[in-house]
Amino acid sequence: MGKTMMKRIALASAVVLSSLMSVNTMAAADDAAKAITDRRAVFKLLSFANAPLGGMARGGEFNAEAATEAAERVAMLAGMIPALFATNTAGEVQPGRYIAADRIWDGMDDFNQKAMDLVNGANAALEILNTQGADGVRAAVAEIGPKCGACHDVYRVEQ
């Protein structure tokens, strides 16, 4: 085989390889974009689910059914957090002012524990509401709100 031919083959393989690599990179970026959209959707729902309890704690009218439903929904949604962070987006472009910190994926045990703390907090809140009714609203909220903040303080950052 002549030298020119070998050069051509080498060049052609390099082109194929680099386009395969960019397809891979694009697929990874798509995965990251989807992961970011999915997890943000669940956090929005967490806020939505938790809002009625917050309102009652700030002096809104107590509604036992709405209060327990809120705690149940928070527990259910919080249980999804670890799975929603299975895709590592460290180093990826994340839109918006507040984003997930890359350190989440340094070791997920602590992050997943903070998600479990929220599940447990919401279940504790449910127990309090079931036993104390309106008198337990503030205590119930105190089981949930700080668990959101504890995770945000470490794993949600401003860019």
Rounded Cα gap, residues 29 and 158, in angstroms: 21
User: 5-29 as b/e, with b when 16 or more CB fall inside 10 Å?
Assistant: eeeeeeeeeeeeeeeeeeeeeeeee
Q: Which stretch binds ligand HEC (CB under 6 A): 13-21, 25-33, 58-66, 143-151?
A: 143-151
d(CA 19, CA 66) in angstroms, rounded, equals 54
Q: 99 exposed, middle or buried (CB, 10 Å; 0-12, 13-18, 19+)?
A: middle
Residue 138 as a binder of ligand HEC (CB under 6 A): the answer is no
* 44 scored as a contact of ligand HEC (CB under 6 A): yes
Query: Does residue 143 belong to the site contacting ligand HEC (CB under 6 A)?
Result: no
Does position 73 interact with ligand HEC (CB under 6 A)? The reply is no
Nearer Cβ to ligand HEC (25/98)? 98
Choice between 23 and 87, CB closer to ligand HEC: 87
Binding site for ligand HEC (CB under 6 A): 36, 39-40, 43-44, 46-47, 50, 74, 81, 96, 98-100, 111, 114-115, 118, 144, 147-148, 151-152, 155-156
